[in-house]
C-alpha cells in the first residue's frame, strides 16, 4: 500500500483538536504532524475524526424486514445497511440480531440465521465498507433463547451479547399503563385481549427468564464475549448485572440505575437519538442529563444511524462543559474498548486508519469521505 497523507485538517485527537496532517501507512496511522508541513489530500479545514464505533443498531433487521410480512434478500439488506452505516461515518458496527422465538414473529430462528449468515458471507464478497460484527440480543423469557444463542454464539463475528427482558411490568415497561399505551395501537387489541397477552408474557418471564439468563451469561463468559444488560431500572437489577460480570449497561431507564452502573464500573450506553431529540422516545431519562452528570460512557445510534454523528456535534453546543473531543470519545474509543477492540477508536500512532472527513460548518455535520484501514470506502 502506498502512503496516504491527509493535510490541512482539524484533527480531533482524544483530548485536543490540532490543525495539521496525518500520515497513513499500511492501514495504520504512522504520524501526526501539527505543523502541517506535509502535502496531501487538502481538507480545507474540515475535521478529521476517527471512524465511529456502533455497538447497538437494529437497522440490519429493519432493512431485512422493511414492512410487516415482507422479508428482503438478507445479503441485499446487509448491502443497503452497510451503505447507510458507512455514509454516517461508522466504520465498525455491531449488527443487532434478535435471539429467541417471538409469538408476534413466527420462524424467528430462520430469520436470525439468515441475518447471521449474511454477516458471515458479506466480507467474503469484498464490498462491505464498514467492518461488521454480531450483537446477539437475547430475549430471556423466550423458551428457546438458549438453544438459539448456542447456534450463533461461537460465530466468528459474534463479539457481544445482551440480556433483555421486555416483559410487561419489567424494566423499560415497569408501568403497565405505559406498556398498554405503547403497544395497544400497534397490536390492535382491545382491553381484554391486551390483558390476556400481558398475563401470558408474564407467565413466560416467571418460567424462563432466570434460568435462561444464568445459562447465557455463563456461556458468554466461556467464549469471551462482551456482555451487556438491557434496560436496567433498579439497584437490584444493576447489582445482578455486576454479579454476572456484565460490563456494559445498555439504556438504563432511571438516573438511579445509571449512577449505580457507573459506580460498578460498567460502561453506561444510551441512544444518540435521545441526545439529538433532547429526550427519550419512551419517556425515560435524558442522555444529555447523564452526560452533564458524568454518567455516560457510550452513545449508540439505535434506530437512526446518522444520529451518532449528529450527537457528537450537538452535545458541545448544548453543554458548554463538553468539548468536541470529549463528545467524540462516546462514539469511538469508549465503545471500541468496551467491545475489546483496542486497535481503533482514536487518531493515534499505531491505531487503525479508520478515518472520516466531516464538515461541521452547517447545522447538520456532513460526511465527505470515509477510510477503513487507509482505504477510501465512501
**Distance between CA 339 and CA 165 in Å, rounded?**
22
70-74, 206-210, 245-249: least confidently modelled range: 206-210
> What band does 281 get if pLDDT is binned at 50, 70 and 90?
low
Residue 315: pLDDT band (50, 70, 90) is: very high
CB neighbours (10 Å) of residue 177? 8
Q: Is the pLDDT of residue 104 over 80?
A: no
Q: Summarize the confidence of residues 72-99 as an average pLDDT.
A: 97
Give the pLDDT band (50/70/90) at residue 323. Answer: very high
Task: Kindly tell me if the per-residue pLDDT of 209 is higher than 90.
Answer: no
Residue 174 pLDDT > 70: no
Give the pLDDT score at 325: 98
Helices 235-243 and 255-263: crossing angle, nearest 10°?
Answer: 30
- pLDDT of 102 reads 81
Whether 135 shows a pLDDT value over 90: the answer reads: yes
252 contacts 231 by C-beta, under 8 angstroms: yes
Residue closest to 266 by CA, chosen among 293, 243, 236: 243
Per-residue pLDDT averaged across 162-187, rounded?
A: 67
- Residue 77's region, left for phi above 0, alpha for psi from -120 to 50, else beta, is alpha
Helices (H), the chain: 59-64, 74-87, 108-125, 145-152, 176-187, 191-223, 235-243, 255-263, 272-277, 287-292, 307-318, 324-329, 333-338
CATH says 1-50+344-378 is which class? mainly beta
d(C-alpha 182, C-alpha 375), whole Å = 44
Q: Does the pLDDT of residue 5 top 90, yes or no?
A: yes
Please spell the DSSP secondary structure of 98-109, one letter per residue: EES-BTTBS-HH
Determine the pLDDT at residue 285. 84
User: What pLDDT is stored for residue 1 in this prediction?
Assistant: 63
For residue 368, pLDDT beyond 80: yes
In this prediction, residues 246-255 reach a mean pLDDT of 94
Q: How confident is the model at residue 190 (pLDDT cuts 50, 70, 90)?
A: low
- Tell me which residue of 55, 76, 56 sits closest to 65, measured CA to CA: 76
The dihedrals phi and psi of 211, each to the nearest 5 degrees, come to: -65, -35
For residue 173, is pLDDT > 80? no
Alpha-carbon dihedral 246, 163, 98, 165, rounded to 10 degrees: -150
- Please report the pLDDT score of residue 169 as a whole number: 59
- Asked if 205 contacts 100 with a C-beta cutoff of 8 angstroms, the reply is no
What whole-number percentage of the chain has pLDDT above 90?
A: 78
- Mean of the pLDDT values across residues 246-269? 96
Look at residue 41 in the predicted model and tell me its pLDDT: 94
Burial of 29 (0-12, 13-18, 19+ CB in 10 A): buried
- pLDDT reported for residue 179: 64
Closest CA to 84 of 370, 375, 373, 376: 370
User: Is the CATH code 1.10.10.10 the one for domain 52-343?
Assistant: no
Q: Where are the domains of the chain?
A: 1-50+344-378, 52-343
Say if CB 132 and CB 108 are below 8 A apart: no
Stronger pLDDT, 286 or 283, i.e. the higher one: 286
Q: What is the pLDDT of residue 15?
A: 96
Amino acid at each position: 500500500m502506498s502512503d496516504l497523507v491527509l493535510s490541512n485538517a482539524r484533527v480531533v485527537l482524544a483530548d485536543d483538536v490540532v490543525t495539521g496532517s496525518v500520515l497513513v501507512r499500511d492501514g495504520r496511522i504512522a504520524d501526526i504532524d501539527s505543523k502541517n508541513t506535509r502535502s496531501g489530500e487538502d481538507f480545507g479545514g474540515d475535521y478529521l475524526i476517527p471512524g465511529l464505533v456502533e455497538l447497538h443498531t437494529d437497522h440490519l433487521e429493519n432493512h431485512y424486514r422493511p414492512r410487516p410480512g415482507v422479508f428482503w434478500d438478507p445479503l441485499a439488506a446487509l448491502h443497503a445497511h452497510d451503505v447507510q452505516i458507512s455514509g454516517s461515518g461508522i466504520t465498525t458496527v455491531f449488527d443487532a440480531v434478535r435471539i429467541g422465538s417471538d409469538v408476534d414473529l413466527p420462524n424467528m430462528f430462520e430469520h436470525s440465521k439468515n441475518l447471521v449468515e449474511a454477516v458471515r458471507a458479506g466480507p467474503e464478497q469484498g464490498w462491505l465498507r464498514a467492518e461488521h460484527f454480531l450483537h446477539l440480543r437475547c430475549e430471556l423469557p423466550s423458551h428457546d433463547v438458549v438453544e438459539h444463542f448456542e447456534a450463533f454464539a461461537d460465530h466468528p463475528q459474534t463479539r457481544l451479547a445482551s440480556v433483555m427482558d421486555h416483559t410487561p411490568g419489567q424494566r423499560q415497561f415497569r408501568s403497565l399503563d405505559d406498556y398498554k399505551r405503547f403497544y395497544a395501537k400497534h397490536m390492535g387489541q382491545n382491553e381484554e385481549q391486551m390483558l390476556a397477552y400481558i398475563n401470558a408474557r408474564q407467565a413466560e418471564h416467571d418460567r424462563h427468564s432466570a434460568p435462561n439468563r444464568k445459562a447465557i451469561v455463563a456461556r458468554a463468559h466461556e467464549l469471551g464475549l462482551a456482555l451487556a444488560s438491557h434496560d436496567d431500572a433498579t439497584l437490584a437489577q444493576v447489582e445482578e448485572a455486576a454479579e454476572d460480570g456484565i460490563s456494559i449497561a445498555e439504556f438504563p431507564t432511571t438516573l438511579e440505575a445509571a449512577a449505580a452502573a457507573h459506580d460498578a464500573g460498567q460502561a453506561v450506553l444510551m441512544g444518540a437519538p435521545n441526545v439529538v431529540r433532547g429526550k427519550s422516545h419512551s419517556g425515560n431519562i435524558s442522555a444529555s442529563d447523564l452526560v452533564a452528570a458524568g454518567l455516560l460512557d457510550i452513545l449508540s445510534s439505535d434506530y437512526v444511524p446518522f444520529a451518532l454523528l449528529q450527537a457528537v456535534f450537538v452535545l458541545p453546543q448544548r453543554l458548554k462543559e463538553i468539548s468536541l473531543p470529549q463528545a467524540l470519545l462516546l462514539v469511538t474509543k469508549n465503545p471500541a474498548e468496551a467491545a475489546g477492540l483496542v486497535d481503533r477508536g482514536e487518531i493515534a500512532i499505531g491505531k487503525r486508519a479508520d478515518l472520516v472527513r466531516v464538515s461541521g460548518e452547517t447545522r447538520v455535520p456532513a460526511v465527505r469521505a470515509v477510510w477503513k484501514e487507509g482505504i477510501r470506502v465512501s
